[in-house]
């Protein structure tokens, strides 16, 4: 079955009781399983979505913000302790190698013990970490392309498009960026980040952060109404709102998101919740 499962759907690294987890997704396309972003909760999310972690083999990271990368190392390590022996490839922006080296250093004691005590394959022998840039990232039965998107102050943040028998585009974290519509043109599914201005002031009050956070949110993310504009211009088959800001405000419900998106988009749309499966 070709599907996308949104494992974690909140934007930003904080977690709260009863709330959604930071960003990660699973794409199953033509028999290949791909993990996109590894925010906190990705390992449990994959297991709950029915994936045997021993089969982990392909991961893409859109950028190095912690809500997209904090559980990358722990996911691979947990897959390894679950019995993973086969190669894993991680594609990430420049800097991904340093993350991986730092993670491996932090668990070197545990890994060396498990290699001699439990007879496991050394983890560094099965993991390849590769930095990518804009353009064609992976060719073959599934083609993967990257588009640099504006997410200041981060320079290396990418939207990713996967083409097989179906096409799926993930926006990454991005400010409103009309070229993304050309990049996503004709995708069966567009998974796009979204911000709801009505919820921003509550977040500012909750975190105790002021103008700097407010400025970051508006300069680096896409308002829900503009997400609808991208979906419309791209002519996608379906839209899913992801990386929701806010994701855990009890005064905001799906209808608040949908009414904004509806300014420009009248096609099928899902408001992301953790564990949501979208069949392609």
Q: At closest approach, how far in Å is the CB of 163 from Zn ion?
A: 24
Nearer to Zn ion, 65 or 229 (CB): 65
Q: How far apart are CA 234 and CA 190, in angstroms?
A: 9
37 binds Zn ion (CB under 5 A): no
Q: At closest approach, how far in Å is the CB of 65 from Zn ion?
A: 3
Q: At closest approach, how far in Å is the CB of 187 from Zn ion?
A: 21
Spatial CA neighbour of 11 closest among 39, 46, 42, 48: 39
Nearer to Zn ion, 65 or 223 (CB): 65
Relative orientation angle of helices 72-82 and 108-118, to the nearest 10 degrees: 10
Map residue 225 onto helix, strand or coil: helix
Q: At closest approach, how far in Å is the CB of 159 from Zn ion?
A: 12
Binding-site residue total for Zn ion (CB under 5 A)? 3
Q: At closest approach, how far in Å is the CB of 274 from Zn ion?
A: 15
Beta strands in the chain (DSSP E): 3-8, 24-29, 32-38, 58-60, 88-92, 127-131, 135-138, 143-148, 158-163, 167-170, 189-195, 239-245, 269-271, 276-279
Determine phi and psi for 141, rounding to 5 degrees: -55, -35
As beta bridge partners, residue 239 has 190, 269
Nearer to Zn ion, 205 or 219 (CB): 219
- Please report the DSSP string for 3-16 in residue order: EEEEEE-BSSS---
10 binds Zn ion (CB under 5 A): no
Interface with Zn ion in residues 240-279 (CB under 5 A) = none
Q: At closest approach, how far in Å is the CB of 151 from Zn ion?
A: 5
Interface with Zn ion in residues 141-200 (CB under 5 A) = 173
Nearer to Zn ion, 65 or 192 (CB): 65
Nearer to Zn ion, 40 or 144 (CB): 40
Nearer to Zn ion, 65 or 77 (CB): 65
67 binds Zn ion (CB under 5 A): yes
Q: How far apart are CA 96 and CA 136, in angstroms?
A: 18
Q: At closest approach, how far in Å is the CB of 217 from Zn ion?
A: 11
Nearer to Zn ion, 173 or 270 (CB): 173
65 binds Zn ion (CB under 5 A): yes
Interface contacts to Zn ion, rule CB under 5 A: 65, 67, 173
């Amino acid at each position: 079955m070709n599907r996308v499962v949104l494992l974690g759907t909140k934007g930003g690294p904080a977690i709260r009781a009863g709330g959604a987890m930071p960003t990660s997704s699973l794409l199953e396309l033509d028999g290949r399983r791909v993990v996109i972003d590894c925010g906190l909760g990705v390992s449990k999310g994959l297991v709950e979505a029915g994936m045997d972690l021993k089969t982990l083999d392909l991961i893409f990271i859109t950028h190095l913000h912690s809500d997209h990368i904090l559980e990358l190392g722990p996911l691979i390590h947990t897959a390894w302790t679950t019995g993973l022996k086969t190669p894993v490839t991680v594609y990430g922006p420049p800097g991904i190698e340093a993350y991986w080296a730092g993670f491996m250093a932090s668990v070197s004691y545990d890994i060396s013990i498990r290699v001699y005590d439990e007879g496991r394959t050394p983890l560094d022998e099965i993991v390849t970490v590769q930095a990518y840039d804009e353009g064609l990232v992976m060719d073959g039965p599934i083609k993967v392309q990257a588009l640099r998107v504006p997410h200041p102050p981060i320079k290396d943040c990418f939207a990713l498009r996967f083409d097989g028998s179906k096409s799926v585009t993930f926006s990454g974290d991005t400010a409103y960026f009309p070229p993304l519509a050309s990049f996503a043109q004709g995708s069966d599914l567009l998974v796009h980040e979204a911000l709801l201005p009505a919820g921003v002031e509550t977040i500012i009050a909750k975190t105790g952060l002021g103008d700097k956070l407010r400025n970051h949110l508006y300069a680096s993310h896409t308002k829900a109404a503009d997400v609808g504009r991208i979906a419309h211009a791209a002519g996608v088959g379906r839209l899913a709102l992801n990386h929701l800001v806010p994701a855990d405000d009890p005064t905001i419900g799906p209808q608040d998101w949908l009414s904004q998106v509806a300014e420009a988009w009248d096609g099928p749309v899902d408001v992301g919740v953790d564990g949501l499966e979208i069949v392609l």
